[in-house]
Each structure stands twice: as structure tokens, then as C-alpha cells.
């Protein structure tokens, strides 16, 4: 384990119920990140999606991958920028080629695997994939930028 949820909260501004990354298990600065989210039936989203057939929404999977990408971007930035993380936030610029390949249900562990396609200054382009039990369940190309709050 590299970062647990307490450490992740020092990096990202997200909080319950919108912090969608439980742990970072691997990080190669400037290259890639792996982490996971444990999907629980107690999450508020399941009250309406769907009451008798709970499915974790694809948009939440994309957001979880983006949060992992935010950790990668912050931890890959200069020490000066990392010290100023409280005054920075990561904004989505685009989501391309998003595909959802299988439903995610309560009890699943979503494994996020992201790799850097391109980085120019504050802009990051990432190849993002989500797995459950080694099965690809979602993927997308994400572009984001670190900006001042």
C-alpha cells in the first residue's frame, strides 16, 4: 500500500460521499497509478440506482478513475506544487472513448489502472481502465488540468 484513504484526502479535495478511491497500491511518478474502490451496498447511490437491482453507475467509475489520475498528477508534479496542493484542484477537460463493458455490483472491488499518454505542464492525458476480478469493466481516455482554486 502506498496511500490509504487518509493520505488520499491530503492530496484530493473530495470527501464522502464523493471520494471514490479507497487506496493507492502502486504509483510510478509521471507514468502510472493503480488503486481501488470497494463498492458497498451502503453507498447512497444505490438508493436510486436501482432499488431492486443495484448497479454502480458508469459515471461514478469514470470519476473514480479520474480521482486516481488526480493523485498521479499531483504526486508527479514538482515538490513546490505538491506543497501547494491545498490551493490546487484537478479539473476534467475531456472524457473520450468511454466504454462500459460489464456491470459493477455491491461487493465488487474496482481496480483502477491508469497510465500517462501525454503530459505537458499542468495538462495530463491518461489511459484509464477499471477491472473487477481481472475483467475489464470500463475504460476511457481522460484529459485533466491542475489549476489554482
CA-angle at 20, arms to 111 and 39, nearest 5°:
60
The x, y and z cell numbers of residue 135, run together, are: 475483467
The x, y and z cell numbers of residue 13, run together, are: 479535495
Bridge partners of 142? 95, 126
Q: Cα(64)–Cα(79) distance, rounded to whole angstroms? A: 25
Q: Give the phi and the psi of residue 27 in degrees, each rounded to 5.
A: -150, 125
Mark whether 49 is an active-site residue: yes
Given the residues 22, 32, 49, 106, the one annotated as active site: 49
Q: Cα 59 to the chain's mean position, in Å? A: 11
Active-site residue numbers?
Answer: 49
Amino acid at each position: 500500500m502506498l496511500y490509504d484513504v487518509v493520505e488520499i484526502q491530503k492530496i484530493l479535495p473530495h470527501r464522502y460521499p464523493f471520494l471514490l478511491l479507497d487506496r493507492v497500491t502502486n504509483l510510478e511518478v509521471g507514468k502510472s497509478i493503480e488503486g481501488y474502490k470497494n463498492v458497498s451496498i451502503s453507498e447512497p447511490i444505490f438508493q436510486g440506482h436501482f432499488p431492486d437491482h443495484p448497479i454502480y453507475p458508469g459515471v461514478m467509475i469514470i470519476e473514480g478513475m479520474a480521482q486516481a489520475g488526480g493523485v498521479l498528477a499531483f504526486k508527479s508534479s514538482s515538490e513546490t506544487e505538491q506543497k501547494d496542493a491545498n490551493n490546487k484542484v484537478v479539473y476534467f477537460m475531456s472524457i473520450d472513448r468511454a466504454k462500459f463493458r460489464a456491470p459493477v455490483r455491491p461487493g465488487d472491488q474496482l481496480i483502477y489502472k491508469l497510465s500517462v499518454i501525454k503530459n505537458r505542464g499542468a495538462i495530463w492525458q491518461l489511459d484509464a481502465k477499471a477491472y473487477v476480478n481481472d475483467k475489464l469493466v470500463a475504460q476511457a481516455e481522460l484529459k485533466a488540468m491542475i489549476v489554482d482554486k
